[in-house]
Amino acid sequence: MTVAAEGSPPVRMAGARRNPLLQSEAVQGFALISPTFVYALILLVLPILVVIAHSFWTQNYLTIDHTFTLENYRIALTEPIYRDLLWRSLYISLTVSLLTVALAYPIAYFISFHGGRHKSLWLFLITIPFWTSYLLRVMSWKVILGYNGVLNSGLMGLGIISEPSDALLYNSIAVIITLTHAWATFAILPIFVSLEKVDRTLVEAATDLGDGPLRSFLRVTLPLSAPGVISAALIVMIPTVGDYVTPKLVGGKDGVMIANAIQAQFGKASSWPLGAALSVTTMVIVSLMAGATVLIIRALQSLAR
């Protein structure tokens, strides 16, 4: 239905039929996007479904028994070695996330609020370590923390210690230090983006109303940048739980994580079902921990208001 005044073009009313040409284009666009979306979804979901299916089977040497069983999950959750490795992985991951965010936030804050016209240069300098491979950066920390490494040599040169210490390498502390450095940039960037979206007039208004720098930061800047903090924490926490290279190179027997045990099951032990059960268990626990982290940060954000 259309309503038209004299000398004016007709106006289409609500409820009128849509243009068939536009409907045809929409259908064609959906037809083009749909197969691509389905293909990408299959590529993402299929490996996970294969792992989940294997976790309910058993293996006898090289033969897979497809009989449904929960024995693999019983072993994954009750065997002390796997339980301890999982808790160690969660502890290291959470510690790395907290340290990385704590170190990344001041850097992102400085670039956002005091970088001026050199913000792009600062961001460029932050990404320089990623010009080298991840393996090379881990090996660099192995050299720094080694018995005759840079750190021990520097402490001996300053007279702080009389002989090199072997407590800096091949333990969970070395893994935490290395992972914190490796994932620092991934935490700086989302926090910087979040700080860039903070309305500067709100900070100025808080100052005009009598808030000092610390109080205005806690009441205005920090709550408004909470989405970036949450993103940075999750970006760091989720991948570090399953890190394999860093514990292998700098962790030693005291820094082994659950990913190393999973690799052993798929490799030397040749027990794919148990390795799959360990993988699924880790994924579920990490998902729950990530959700709990988001809820905790949002609760703290609400209290700050």
pLDDT at 97: 94
Q: ∠3-20-27 over CA atoms, to 5°? A: 140
The HSE-up count of residue 41 (CA atoms within 13 Å, CB side) is 6
pLDDT at 30: 46
Q: Are 65 and 57 in contact (CB under 8 A)?
A: yes
Q: Are 152 and 93 in contact (CB under 8 A)?
A: no
Task: Give the residue from 193, 212, 213, 229 showing the smallest Cα distance to 301.
Answer: 229
Q: ∠107-110-113 over CA atoms, to 5°? A: 145
Q: Are 220 and 204 in contact (CB under 8 A)?
A: no
pLDDT at 33: 57
The three-state secondary structure class of 16 is coil
Q: Residue written as tokens 């040749």?
A: 270
Distance CA 61, CA 36 (A): 39
Look up residue 178 and give its amino acid: T
- Eight-class DSSP state of 254: G
The shares of helix, strand and coil residues in the chain, as percent rounded to the nearest 5, are 75, 5, 20
Q: Which residues contact residue 138 at a Cβ distance below 8 angstroms, ignoring those fewer than 6 apart?
A: 178, 182, 245, 246, 249, 250
Distance CA 160, CA 147 (A): 15
Helical H runs in 127-246? 134-145, 150-157, 172-182, 184-196, 200-208, 213-216, 222-224, 226-241, 245-246
**Token digits for 294?**
């988001």
pLDDT at 301: 66
Distance CA 52, CA 225 (A): 37
pLDDT at 79: 93
Quickly count: other Cβ atoms within 10 Å of residue 135's Cβ: 11
Q: Are 259 and 119 in contact (CB under 8 A)?
A: no
10-residue averages of pLDDT along the chain (305 residues): 49 49 47 66 81 88 85 93 94 95 96 92 89 90 91 90 88 95 93 94 88 88 90 92 93 92 89 93 91 81 66
Task: Give the residue from 225, 259, 230 showing the smallest Cα distance to 242.
Answer: 259
Look up residue 14 and give its amino acid: A
pLDDT at 87: 93
Distance CA 221, CA 106 (A): 12
**Token digits for 174?**
């070395």
pLDDT at 100: 96
Task: Give the residue from 198, 220, 222 showing the smallest Cα distance to 106.
Answer: 222
Task: Give the residue from 283, 197, 276 showing the smallest Cα distance to 239.
Answer: 283
